[in-house]
Amino acid sequence: MTDRSSIMQSMSPDTDTRSRILSTAREMFHGRSYADVGIQEICDGARVQKGSFYHFFPSKHDLAMAVIDNMADEWAHGFVAESFDQNLPPVERLDYMIDAAYYWQKAATDIEGRMPGCLFGNLALEMSTRDDVMRAKLNAVFDKAMGKFRATLDEAVQGGTLAAMDTEATATAMLAYLEGIILLAKTRNDPDVILILGPAIKTLRIELSH
């Protein structure tokens, strides 16, 4: 355990080399793709030497893993927490989440000119056939998100707002739909697609198999 002063010295947030690399890489991977972003480019963006980069990350692959963890964390503590841990009625949380997704993509589009979409979805389609380790990690991220949906649905069923259903399957379907509309919106480079199609997420339903 290091004391506070040494923390301040060696890890002031965002002047810290490792996290500078991490956030630069995250931004670049998100806005482009894994393959299209080079180590040198990341180093330039983070004002770091290549040898220094390899002091913190053993390989590009490991960097990507760290980026996924990093984004998943920010996700969990950011808009996922906001959307789901609300004292809003369960079903309305879905609307809240769609809105949050929209504003995020809208803001990014306004700044960069291009809609980046979902980092996890992007990486999943690019890497799933080539990197089972990364695929597994992305799977875990998706599973966690699905769990949030599921908990919301369970609560709604419990409270009588929704008729009984296969909440696990429906939650998975909702996650798939969310990724799908983000994919389509990105292809159209138009975040509004999320606003238009998003609310229909509440119409998805998978019955209990019997």
Partner DNA sequence: CCATTACTTGACCGACCGGTCATCTAACGC
Partner DNA sequence: GCGTTAGATGACCGGTCGGTCAAGTAATGG
Could you tell me which stretch among 40-48, 91-99, 123-131, 153-161 binds its own copies (CB under 8 A)?
123-131
**Which positions touch DNA (CB under 7 A)?**
2, 6, 9-10, 17, 35, 37-41, 48-52, 54-56, 58-61
Task: Name the residue nearer to DNA (CB basis): 56 or 79.
Answer: 56
Reading the block at residue 116, the tokens are: 């980046």
Helices 167-188 and 132-158: crossing angle in degrees, nearest 10, is: 120
Region of 117 please: left (phi>0), alpha (psi -120 to 50) or beta: left
Given DNA, its own copies, none, residue 41, with its beta carbon under 5 to 8 Å by kind, binds: DNA
Other Cβ atoms within 10 Å of 183 Cβ, number: 16
Given DNA, its own copies, none, residue 169, with its beta carbon under 5 to 8 Å by kind, binds: its own copies
Q: Which of 25, 94, 178, 195 binds its own copies (CB under 8 A)?
A: 178
Given its own copies, DNA, none, residue 116, with its beta carbon under 5 to 8 Å by kind, binds: its own copies
Residues 15, 28: Cα–Cα separation, whole Å: 18
Residues 61, 57: Cα–Cα separation, whole Å: 9
